[in-house]
Chains A and B, each alone.
Chain A
Amino acid sequence: MTDNEHETGQPERRTPPRVIGTPLSDPLTGSLPEPLPGAETAGDDHDGDPAVPRAVPQDERKARKAEKIAALCFMLTFAALVAFLVAYVRFQVGGLSATGASHIALGGALTLALLALASGIVIWVRQIMPKYEMVQQRHPMASSADVRAEIAATFVSGAAESGIVKRRLLRRTLLLAAAPLGLAPLVLLRDLDSTGAPVAQLHKRLAHTVWGEKAKEGKPLRLVVEGTGQPIRAADFNSPGGILSVVPEGYEHDLNVLAKATVILIKFRPEEFKPGTNLNWTHDGIVAYSKICTHVGCPAALYEQTTHHILCPCHQSTFDAADGAKVVFGPAARPLPQLPIGVDEQGYLIALGDFPTPVGPSYWERGDAEARVRENGGHS
């Protein structure tokens, strides 16, 4: 082989007819074979464009081989579906491992059955059915001018027959009658809110939690550990840097209460506090903040002891627990409200009142509650 081959040999064999890597959209590079009768009867629209290749019958030997492969695929599907039925009966479910075995057996058999069936059909289409392309003509989507004119005439005469244009009273009373029809379903949706409170008062419910309601009744709630329900003796919660997730006693399983009243309790050394924290509301270096993030309400559950940062794992809002839980970083715009706490006669931690500001995500009627508190001298 020399570089001379091009001059003497057959250049067409070494000259690629297409850009390397481009798709073979035209399966025919040879002469056009005789079309199948089926392709010729291809609809009325066939325009016999000579540029479009006609049917290519598959080589019978190859087709016979493909038939065997496709049949094998179908047999495989059959076997896999039998296996599916057997697995359904054989494998019982219950614990983790039993369910796992049943799951893999059923799923594996189903996957195999579907895969084999699909493969069989594809082999059938590609290697047994003749390959050809057909052409159909498109027509503009728009109807002809005649048709449009006829429709317009019919529309006008129909409207005239009905008298809706001429009889103004009829038309206007009909519109009047129809207008409230749209309102009826809206009214029906009013009871979607099952609190029964007047609409204008709804937002007031958002501003208070069970801590404050009970404190006001003179029965302040104890703080209990989330999960165990143990009340917390202030003297026992004494290692600085400690953190507890805390809920109101008696409401440990009330999700509606927990969604607002869950609190994190952090023990500080007194010198660690910064001015943002209201020291009157702490007890012996223990401070309580709402756990419900002021961004969109996830529980701000992570605490970094060395930096005193509370982190919400949902959107990474970061609050400085030593400084009134003010926002250090992230999308939350407001500090976590601080809960005023103290101890009862037995030394257990209790809530002395409500959070000064509404907990959780902001809402339209919230207003600048922090400024309101400042104006009122620290009380809500």
Chain B
Amino acid sequence: MSDLRAVPKRIAGPATFLDERLGAGSFVKRNMRKIFPDHWSFLLGEIALYSFVILLLTGTFLTFWFKPSMGEIVYNGPYAPLKGVTMSEAYASSLKISFEVRGGLLIRQIHHWAALVFIGGMMAHALRVFFTGAYRKPRELNWLIGVVILSIALFEGLTGYSLPDDLLSGAGLRVTQGVVIGLPVVGTYLNFFLFGGEYPGEDVISRFYSIHILLLPGLILALVTAHLILMWVQKHTQFPGKGRTNRNVVGAPFYPAFMAKSGAFFLFTFAVIAGLGTFAQINPIWLYGPYSPADVSAGSQPDFYMAFLEGALRIMPAWEINLFGTAEAGTIPLSVVIPALVPLGLIVVGMALYPFIERWITGDNREHHLADRPRNNPHRTSIGMAVIAFYGVLWLFGGNDLISANFQVDLYTTTWAGRILVFAAPALAYAITYRICLGLQRSDAAVLSHGVESGVIKRLPNGGYVEVHSPPAEDIEAHLRGREAIPVLADGGDVPPKGLRGPIGRLRLRMSKAYGGEKIPIANGHPHDGDEHPDMLPDGQNRALTR
């Protein structure tokens, strides 16, 4: 064994070749040791990224056998229960991939699981970014790109699970059609243009196929690339801590440690998804049979990321209006249009606008590279939790029939519970989260001013007992102190500044005062009179303790 003293010839040769042609040296020099801050929550986006890579690889494999055709054939494959059954070529070829291609079932199931992990990973990543305020200037554009990727991915998933043309995917397609045709004014046209005629027509599978394997993945790939480039250029955010400021970035260098760790993380992600694809059966299409618009199985459920739309459809009351009475126009099926558009619209548009709304309310135009701890911006955290509760209720009641069946509750009662909870749960989540955030801020302030409980009980000369508190370790203290008050717009005294006049301006100022400021100040000194903890060790001594 000998240590490396110079770049080996086998690497130096090609590197020189490339540098003489690309001049990549200065780029590599700048970026080889690029710093990546370390925190478990920074890996959520990587999970999504790696799942997307797996989706591209496995999806390509599946296209080698899949036939996107609604032409009818009689099944004559090895799966006995369906022998002699008339079905579409799409379904027959999906069965072929499952039963006649070695590893086909494995890749199909990996593909489906990877899709779930991809979207779940993106959701978790988006929540991390939201709760830590990592979308703030200068990262608003990258946040927007992320919101668009997430929205596209929902449609990518929808077009994907419609392709096998089994009874379950057909039920999903039928619901999609019912929503499309219900859209005011344009619904009928969209229906005919999408399906090439009346539902189901002969075209929708092949159209979904090109959308699913070319159009949407191409868009996602381009946007993911832009997302990564922006992340690279803007450098990753970091949590506050010892030596970490808004002006620096502290962490492991890209080469070699981060690179190796990321490679390992890709393999872990792949291993988990492969394990799921192997041992956790997903979408056993052969059990469902071919699609027929005359049949459906009870307990039909979409993939998890569509379940919130399903839940919205289920708990919506039966509202429908006819604007022009009996005239052949003006029907708006609110019981379809509202659940299909409002929750998705609220969440997506809300996400897209939030950075800009927050900036407008706080007037904060500075660059932020230190991630907030969620407790330190209680209103933002509460809004996030309210959205999670809203989404969660809709998601849960996408299975209202299963809840009723499993818990022996009347179906109407369950549905009514959903109708109430969809409003009550977000409000409750907001209030509870807000209190929790303030409580956590108080406990931070207590640690900073009183120190950490040491577990040591001391008897005082007067006979009383107290617990010795010692100041927190330096890194903990830096972590806790690394927060700043949320900016508040200055109201300018008697004459409000130009942007704060009129009803909107006054509302802006009121929101700013409620949203911003420091709810629980972390005092530098002791907030109470200094004698409450006479047992606190003197400062010089405690520094020695932490070593």
Which residues in A have some Cβ–Cβ distance to B below 8 Å?
3, 6, 11-12, 14-19, 22, 25-26, 29-31, 42-43, 47, 49, 51-52, 88, 91-96, 99, 102-104, 106-108, 110-111, 114-115, 117-119, 121-122, 124-125, 129, 132-138, 140-141, 189, 192-195, 199, 202-203, 205-206, 226, 245, 247, 253, 255-256, 258-260, 262, 291-292, 295-299, 301-302, 313-317, 327, 329-334, 360-369, 371-372, 375
Contacts and interface: CB of A to CB of B under 8 A. Distances in A.
A132 B38 CA distance: 12
Given A16-B452, A18-B473, A141-B367, A299 B198 contact: no
Interface in B441-486: 447, 452, 454-458, 468, 470, 472-476, 479
A364 B80 contact: no
A11 B456 contact: yes
Given A15-B545, A52-B250, A367 B313 contact: no
A118 B80 CA distance: 40
Contact of A363 (B103, B182, B468): B182
A223 B541 CA distance: 94
B72 A253 contact: yes
A107 B248 contact: no
A367 B293 contact: no
A52 to B, nearest CB: 4
The range of chain B's interface size is: 35 or more
B178 A258 contact: no
Contacts of B313: 295-296, 315, 331
Nearest to A261: B294
B292 interface: yes
Contacts of A47: 248
Interface in B364-378: 367, 369
A282 B265 CA distance: 66
Given A42-B253, A297-B174, A363-B187, A259 B200 contact: yes
B65 interface: no
Nearest to A300: B296
Contacts, number: 374
Contacts of A253: 72, 86
A129 B196 contact: no
A29 B547 contact: yes
Q: Which of A297, A298, A375 has the most CB of B within 10 A?
A: A297
B79 interface: yes
Nearest to A49: B243
A279 B175 CA distance: 32
Contacts of B178: 295-298, 360-361
B147 interface: no
B242 A199 contact: no
A20 to B, nearest CB: 8
Contact of A255 (B30, B293, B472): B293
Q: Top 7 A-B pairs ranked by shortest CB distance? A: A296-B178, A107-B278, A333-B320, A118-B267, A51-B243, A114-B271, A259-B293
Contacts of A129: 256-257, 260
Nearest to B404: A316
Nearest to B471: A17
Given A107-B109, A247-B294, A296-B313, 11 more contacts: A18-B476, A140-B367, A202-B189, A295-B336, A297-B175, A315-B314, A316-B411, A331-B314, A331-B318, A363-B191, A367-B325
Interface in B486-524: none
Nearest to B369: A138
A217 B535 CA distance: 101
Nearest to A312: B296
B188 interface: yes
A314 B188 contact: no
Point out which of A43, A118, A316, A361 has the most chain B C-beta atoms below 10 A from its C-beta: A361
A25 B252 CA distance: 13
A124 B260 CA distance: 9
Contact of B33 (A43, A94, A255): A43
Interface string B302-313: 000000001001
B260 A93 contact: no
Contacts of B324: 367
Contacts of B294: 226, 245, 247, 258-259, 262, 291, 299
Residue of A29, A31, A99, A247 ringed by the most chain B CB atoms within 10 A: A99
6 contacts: A17-B472, A107-B275, A291-B294, A331-B316, A364-B329, A368-B322
Interface stretch (B94-102, B211-219, B352-360): B94-102
B415 to A, nearest CB: 7
Contacts of B332: 364
A134 B38 CA distance: 11
Contacts of B329: 364-365, 367
A167 B496 CA distance: 46
B175 A296 contact: yes
Contacts of B468: 6, 11, 15
A106 B268 contact: no
A232 B198 CA distance: 28
A369 B320 CA distance: 13
B232 interface: no
B322 A367 contact: yes
A367 B193 contact: no
Given A14-B454, A111-B278, A314 B171 contact: yes
Given A93-B100, A314-B296, A122 B456 contact: no
B196 A192 contact: yes
Given A42-B33, A331-B335, A107 B277 contact: yes
Contact of B192 (A17, A118, A133, A193): A193
A296 B336 contact: yes
B401 A19 contact: no
Interface in B417-455: 447, 452, 454-455
A107 B251 CA distance: 36
B320 A362 contact: yes
A364 B260 CA distance: 57
Contact of A368 (B247, B271, B326): B326
A313 B174 contact: no
Contacts of B7: none
A367 B328 contact: yes
A121 B452 contact: no
Contacts of A255: 200, 291-293
A364 B185 contact: yes
Contacts of A363: 181-182, 187-188, 191, 331
Interface in B213-269: 234-235, 239, 241-243, 246-253, 256-257, 260-261, 263-265, 267-268
